[in-house]
Amino acid sequence: MKRFFYRSQQTAVGAVLLTVFLLMVMPESVRARLKSAIGGLFLPVIGISTTGQAALESLGQLGVTQPGPFPTNQAAGASPTVADLQLDNDRLAEENRLLREAVEWERRIPWETRLARVVGRDPFNWWRRIKINLGSNKDIRLNQPVISVRGELVGRISEVGPLTSWVLLVGDPNCRFSALLKESRSQGGIVSPRQYSSDPRVVELTYLPNDVELRPGQAVVTSGLGGGFPKEIPVGQVVDSWRSKDGLYTEARVKLHANLNQLETVRVLTQTHF
């Protein structure tokens, strides 16, 4: 009996080592396909979770009469006071502003966009990636830029599957790109943060010339250099700045406009009009 347990332990260790060894020597293409197949095991749970969420939402709608995204006091049946009307007016003005902004952005960029839903995230914190529900079946291609609904830079497509794709978010070590300060037009590069920050929206803008005048709140946009992203996509705002250790260039912390932890829907830039 003791011998059997001993042998079973050997088998257990051997199985793990063999698996790791086989995965290491496997060709990259086979490993990618295997990875995709194993990831596909989660599709049923994703489906159940999505259906459950939709069912709960529809149940909620059956139980409660929804007057719309911004319910007004008139709809609730209460007699409106001046203060209530002012409140409703403010809400509608804000909604109007957001819609105008979205439409304005759509008009301004020379790209076609496609809305996508965020369906997953990389479980490890040292990667910043999200999974969207569009894949090669919807003509999604590698390195297409991804922006938020309001048009702020989010990242780029890094992997395309048949039904889903992975988006590399701004701040990931593998998502570096050229950006510029909107006022002074000084160029630098956006990299992942190297200093501690409790705010996950903070990235770094590096390789700025030393004579640049940096102030907190200055807007940072994409420069269009390198061809990765189109020009003038809003990235974020300068928080603070310092001279690099060797004194050759200036660096700055930039707070991203898009809250990457709260993305639910994004836009993929699919085609230019040029």
Partner 1 sequence: MTGRINKTLGLLIGAYLLVFLQSHWQGPRLWLGFQPDLTPAILVCVGLTLGAGQVSTAAMLTGLWLDSLSANPLGLSVLPLFIAGWAVFSFRELILRDELVAQFYLGTAAGAAVPLLQVWLLQLVGANPLLGWQMGVWCLVNALLCGVAVPVFDRLAKLLDRWFSHPLHDPNRWPNENRQIVRGKH
Footprint of partner 1 (CB under 8 A): 5, 8-9, 11-13, 15-16, 19-20, 23-24, 31, 34-36, 38-39, 41-42, 45-46, 49, 119-129, 131, 158, 166, 171-174, 192-200, 261-262
Distance in Å, CB of 194 to partner 1, minimum: 6
What does the block give as tokens for 81? 């006071």
CA distances from 52 to 32, 58, 63 (A): 31, 10, 16
- Total residues belonging to the chain: 274
For 138, half-sphere exposure in the C-beta direction (CA atoms, 13 angstrom radius) is 18
User: For residues 166 and 229, which CB has a smaller minimum distance to partner 1 in the complex?
Assistant: 166
Q: How far is the CB of 192 from partner 1 (least distance, A)?
A: 5
Q: Give the nearer residue to partner 1 in terms of CB position, either 153 or 175.
A: 175
CA atoms within 13 A on the CB side of 254: 32
Task: Tell me how far, at minimum, the Cβ of 97 lies from partner 1, in Å.
Answer: 25
Residue whose CB is less far from partner 1, 54 or 99: 54
Between 130 and 147, name the residue whose CB sits nearer to partner 1: 130
Could you give the CA distance from residue 142 to residue 192 in angstroms, rounded to a whole number? 21
CB-nearer residue toward partner 1: 173 or 209: 173
Cα 51 off chain centre by: 23
User: Can you tell me the distance from the alpha carbon of 149 to that of 104, in angstroms, rounded to the nearest whole number?
Assistant: 12
In the complex, what is the shortest distance from the CB of residue 256 to partner 1, in angstroms, rounded to a whole number?
14
Burial class of residue 230, CB neighbours in 10 A (0-12, 13-18, 19+): middle
Of residues 101 and 199, the one with the C-beta less far from partner 1 = 199
* Residue among 147, 166, 155 nearest 106 (CA): 147
Q: How far is the CB of 132 from partner 1 (least distance, A)?
A: 13
Whole-number minimum distance, CB 172 to partner 1, in Å? 7
